[in-house]
Structure 1
Amino acid sequence: MKLNEIRDNEGATKNRMRVGRGIGSGKGKTAGRGVKGQKARTGVSIKGFEGGQMPLHRRLPKRGFTNIHAHDLNEVNLGRVQEAVDAGRLDASAPVTVEALVAAGILSRPRDGVKLLGVGELTTKLSFEVTRASKSAIEAVEKAGGSVTVAYAAGVAHRGTASAEA
């Protein structure tokens, strides 16, 4: 192969439509812009404009807010963890951490940590190290003989604390 022989795959590039080149081209006369008016001209963007009337998006009140301090946690049910243990993807002797759950395929990515939820049956004795856990999940794990350690992930401070170590 030579540099002058390198080409794109067949169909990888497509020639642009040349508009305004006569009625036989299929995109002549108005060049696909419809007929007359401001939008038929070039350089126009009037997305929310209502002819000078107060636009709808400005007439409606603002609602809610986005909490910039909110933690984006993965939610994991005990039933999913038990399925992974039964399938042999999760080691029951090692502590169940975020990394272990990602490696087992239960989570796709770690995010800010894990919240353990109590939906499903847990029969195996497991040791969990999670960011948060529901009361029902803690009860179910302890009933099965395991333990739950609520350890806040690095960079995720709990309400009222300055850092994860504090």
Structure 2
Amino acid sequence: MNLSSLKPAEGSIKARKRIGRGPGSGLGGTSTRGHKGAKSRSGYSRKIGFEGGQMPIQRRLPKFGFKNINRIEYKPINLSVIQTLSEANSLSKITVEDLITAGFISRKSLVKVLANGTLTAALTVEAHAFSKSAEEAIVKAGGTIVKL
């Protein structure tokens, strides 16, 4: 066996239809387009979403919702994550840079600290936003918060 003898399995490849190549092919004449009418002509294209005069789906369905262009998307980081990160690396200050190197966030993301989990160590936590309960939990544990 060599590369020149390789070929696809029997019956797995179909020959393409060669339309409009004379009467001998059986697909000459009207070239499978039927007789006359707009659909038989070159350059024909119907409107996108046209359903033969029936009310199209994009007009039948109601519009709803909107996309707020001023929305700020934060990446949530829980207190439990901060606790494990400080224990693993024995840190007293958790910065955004630490979260990036640990792989929790990407360089462009904004961080919001949420209060899921418990914090035992007195840490300085640096982030773009904090939930009220997370803020209280950090201060209660003897730590401080730094908003960027």
User: Which TM-score tier does this pair reach, normalised by the shorter chain?
Assistant: 0.5 to 0.7
Q: Secondary structure at the match of 2:81?
A: helix
State the match for 1:139 in structure 2.
136
> Runs ≥4 in structure 1, deviation > 3 angstroms?
35-38, 41-47
Q: Secondary structure at the match of 1:129?
A: strand
Q: Deviations over 1:65-85 (max 9, x none)?
A: 111111111110000111122
Q: Normalization by structure 2: what TM-score?
A: 0.66
User: Where does 1:71-90 land on structure 2 (aligned, <5 Å)?
Assistant: 71-88=72-89
Structure (1 or 2) with the larger CA radius of gyration: 2
State the match for 2:50 in structure 1.
49
The structure in which a higher percent of residues are strand is 2
Deviation at 1:98, TM superposition (A): 2.1
The one-letter code of the counterpart of 1:124 is A
Deviation at 1:143, TM superposition (A): 1.5
Structure 2 portions without partners, runs of 5+: 1-13, 20-24
The structure in which a higher percent of residues are helix is 2
1:118 is aligned, of 93, 103, 115, to: 115
Query: Contact 2:111 / 2:128 at 8 angstroms: preserved in 1?
Result: yes
Distance of 2:116 and 2:107 partners within structure 1: 21
State how many pairs are aligned.
Answer: 121
State the match for 1:93 in structure 2.
92
Percent same amino acid among aligned pairs?
42
